[in-house]
Amino acid sequence: MKVIKAIYNFLVGDMIILIGVLVLVGVLLLIENVSALAVIRPVSGVIMVVAIIAIVTATLAREAYSKER
Amino acid sequence: MQWAVVSAAFLASAVEFVEAFTIVLVVGVTINWRSSLLGAFLAAATLAVIVATLGVALVQFVPIEILRLVVGVILILFGLKWLKKAVLRYSGLKSLHDEEAIYEEKQAELRARGEQKSPRIDTFGVLLSYKSVLLEGLEVAFIVITFGSSAANNVCSSSCGISSAAIGAAIAGILVIALGALVRAPLTKIPENTLKFVVGVMLTSFGTFWAGEGLGINWPLADVFILALVAIYLLTSFVLVMWLRRTPAQIANRKGVPAESVEEEVLQ
């Protein structure tokens, strides 16, 4: 458990960023590999950039509006 | 030689070298230089083994598309982590990372432990220096391997990419050590937050580009699109800093009143 926590802290140390990026990669994998979703493939790059901006905004909002601050 | 990779690796590694060198300097000044340098050299030797092993394994056995996806995701994680901290510092929600404060803090810790300057090898000093250099060095190794491997294309092979990244990191290391040796004081003159901010944007941009390529996304303008990503993330960061400076927590910081009262004021 300590090893996993150390790796987590070394790599990212923020649950919103970690979960957000993993979910984003999962969604993009679906878009690129499921034929029914082929229509939105041309905009997958836009989806990726917008999602990353949303992730960083979400984690900063948590910091700014945290009750502990 | 890929100059984009050399410069990206140079900037990213410089941050890590500054951090590692601060600790080596503290141990050298407070305990003795022999212990400090021994720890640093041992860490460098350990790192050389790790880089040689991982570098070969990554280049020889891992398919480039999967590698691009994996390292792209890791770079995004690293990049967002640094970018978040830099934006919080610029907006005033987090105090600026101060190398001088770290230096003083470490010195006080060492004095509290009763450490005296002595010419013989000190285990604590060696371990402190070793641990710091190994940790920061691992991050440099990560940057070199990920930047180098992922930069492989038709013109430049994986090993060529790693060589370019290694050159960037090596130049950063030599410059930081030379600068440190010249000033013989913590590297407070380098605006670390600015460096971290730029590196955060670059890591996120390269990560987005490579992860996207690994997923099968065809970026317009190919590699030139990295510049567009840098511009997008820089603009976003600027907007985020402006926004955070107007949050109740930051307004309360400036006024010296509780954040709740500012929130109530805003609601009214």
Q: What is the ipTM of this complex?
A: 0.92
Q: Do A17 and B80 lie within an 8 Å CB cutoff?
A: yes
pLDDT in tens, B237-252: 999 999 888 876 666 6
Q: pLDDT tens digits for B137-165?
A: 777 777 777 777 776 666 666 667 778 88
Residue in B69, B212, B249 closest to A65 by CB = B249
Radius of gyration of the CA atoms of chain A, in A: 15
* Cα A30 to Cα A54, B12, B73, B197, distances in angstroms: 20, 32, 16, 32
Alpha-carbon distance of A23 to B237, in angstroms, equals 22
Q: What digits encode the pLDDT tens for the residues A24-68?
A: 999 999 999 998 988 999 999 999 999 999 999 999 998 888 765
- pTM, 2 dp: 0.62
| B215 at A interface, C-beta within 8 A | yes
| Residue B216 CB partners (closer than 8 Å, separation 6+) | A32
Count, residues in chain A: 69
pLDDT tens for residues B28-61?
766 677 888 898 889 888 877 777 776 656 545 5
Residue B213 identity (one-letter amino acid):
E
The mean pLDDT of B4-15, rounded to a whole number, is 80
Question: Do B248 and A53 lie within an 8 Å CB cutoff?
Answer: no
- pLDDT: is B98 or B168 the higher one? B168
Q: Residue B237's closest CA among B199, B207, B190?
A: B199
Asked whether the beta carbons of residue B76 and residue A21 sit closer than 8 angstroms, the reply is yes
Q: Provide the pLDDT for residue A46.
A: 94
Tokens of B262: 């500012």
